[in-house]
Amino acid sequence: MTNDPIISLQDVTFTYEGDVVALRGLNLTVRRGEFLVVLGANGAGKSTLCYLISGIVPHIYGGRRRGVVSVAGIDPWDEPLYVTAQHCGVLMQDPEVQLFMPTLKAELAFGPANLGVPREEILRRSQAALALMRLEGLEERNPRDLSGGQKQRAALAAVLTMQPQLLLLDEPTSQLDPLGRWEVGEAIEHLKRRGDLAIVMTTHETEEVLHLADQLLVLERGETALQGSPEEVFSQSERLEAAGVKTPALIRVQHSLLQGNHSRAAHPSPTRVNLTVSQVAEQMRQSIAAGRLRVNSKAAPATQFALPDAPVILEARDLTVEYPGPPRIQALREVNLQIRQGEFVGIIGQNGSGKSTLVKCFVGLLRPKSGDVLLRGQSIRKFSVGEMARRVGLVLQNPDYQLFTASCRDEIRFGLQNVGASPDEIERLVDDALRLVGLEEQAELFPFRLSFGDRRKLAVAATLALNPEVLILDEPTTAQDHRGRYQLAELARRFHEDQHGTVLMITHDVDLIARYARRLLVMHEGRILLDGATWEVFSQVEELKKSFVVPPVAAQLARELAALGVPSWVTTLEELARVIMPAQGG
């Protein structure tokens, strides 16, 4: 078996129709058995690179290209898609757009059957793919009835029956819960170990690729910002942050240790990336024992954890919700919950645990089978839809469900008109809302010409313009890059602090929720599994395992170093840096 490049790009520039330059001067080589991870902010060119390699450009999206592109020995520009698809398999972030057959068995057979592969060979390939993806026994199930992680593995299995030489994974875990991400990550690790494929993966989740990647490519505005081994790329934290890419938490901790010790000779540089929490904790113990670091015993939490005297603003009483079947699904089971005015509450848990159902009940979008929701002590059944929309604002996971007018200005104006605001007040509030989210220049633009991240900001602006008492964000981090997810969280923080608003945020991002939420709910199978101060919840590791939630790296390190006096309230890297300090800073 030769080791000729599976992917070879030489000085490639691509411009979409309309003269939008998406890639500029790109050079790239990927060989069989290699795993390339492509990082970058939204709009950096990651998806365009996937389109270029897979043949989606130019056969679906047109444009102009300069330079040389070779994929498994062919130029996708010159071949029809069905030819390129035999060499290059693509897995997208939403598996449902790739699953369309009535059974998983038929799904796996569809691709090779269309290529005229003999029946016995199709069966052999299908069985091999089922075994590799751990989907045996589900052959007769409709793929749409599978869990999120199972759907993504089913779509991946269907790609593998085509026996591609190259696998393109475009943010394959961005829409999955912790269990789904673990399942897909394990499947990708199996493929990596097998060594007979070249794999290219785009992602925002740098922790997921620490132990897998052979090389990293960081794109910024279509150009190469960084390229090389994980050791080389992740050692340049400042450049990564400038490109909108998150440096893995363990590497950030290790970098701060090196800086704190004032000695890079003590640790080889560039930083090793196959790190574990235990390894970094041991480095910290050694540095503390040697007197290079110290534990600041006087450090205290930066913010209070609870508002026990604040009035209850939202309350769920014995809330039970069922979705019709078959099978009939009990989404909430006698949930009792109080949210106090001025709280910032995080809600986490697996997909299907009841998170979105709960917040939809809070705004009146769902009527429970039994129980009730109270707003300031009154049943929300007494309030009109308009009154609820004004007082409790919900920003959905997909902003496109909330946007429908001809311009950004009209989008914000629409809700204000419906709650009876005066014309002068409407224009003032519209301008304030656009300014708040940084969309003043796009005020007259058609909303669907905005990027996905900016459409999210517009949905938040339209909600905040109504001056609600409660703001609910349902999965604001989905498909968002590192910079974008924190921009939305900062909008929620400003609403919370400047307007004394109450915030509920559903997310799978434990680092983000540790930074912003003072209280944390963990939902599991329609019930509240844990409820308390964020640090207390993250300290209950065994209970969290039921919902496949892993505490933030800082909380894990604090737990490992508790015997040295590191307090259990540490959940963020910033808090860790206030507790463990260079000895010279004392």
The pLDDT value recorded for residue 145 is 83
pLDDT at position 303:
62
Q: Which two tokens stand for residue 122?
A: 């199709």
State the SS3 of 386-401.
HHHHHHEEEECCCHHH
pLDDT per residue as tens, the chain (586 positions): 467 899 999 999 999 988 889 999 999 999 999 999 999 998 899 989 999 999 999 999 899 999 999 999 999 999 999 899 999 999 987 888 899 999 999 999 999 999 899 999 999 999 999 998 889 999 999 998 887 788 889 999 999 999 999 999 988 887 788 888 888 888 888 889 988 899 999 998 888 777 889 999 999 999 999 999 998 999 898 899 999 998 999 988 888 775 554 444 444 444 567 678 999 999 999 999 999 999 998 888 866 555 668 999 999 999 999 988 777 889 999 999 999 999 999 999 988 899 999 999 999 999 999 999 999 999 999 998 888 988 999 998 888 889 999 999 999 999 999 888 899 999 999 999 999 888 999 999 999 988 777 888 899 999 999 999 999 999 887 767 888 888 889 999 999 998 899 999 999 999 999 999 999 999 999 999 999 999 999 999 999 999 989 999 999 999 999 999 999 999 999 999 999 988 865 4
How far is the C-alpha of 282 from the C-alpha of 284, rounded, in Å?
Answer: 5
How many other C-beta atoms can be found within 10 angstroms of the C-beta atom of residue 441?
9
Please name the residues in contact with 5: beta carbons below 8 A apart, sequence gap of 6 or more. Answer: 29, 30, 31, 70
**Cβ neighbours for 268, distance < 8 A, ≥ 6 positions apart:** none
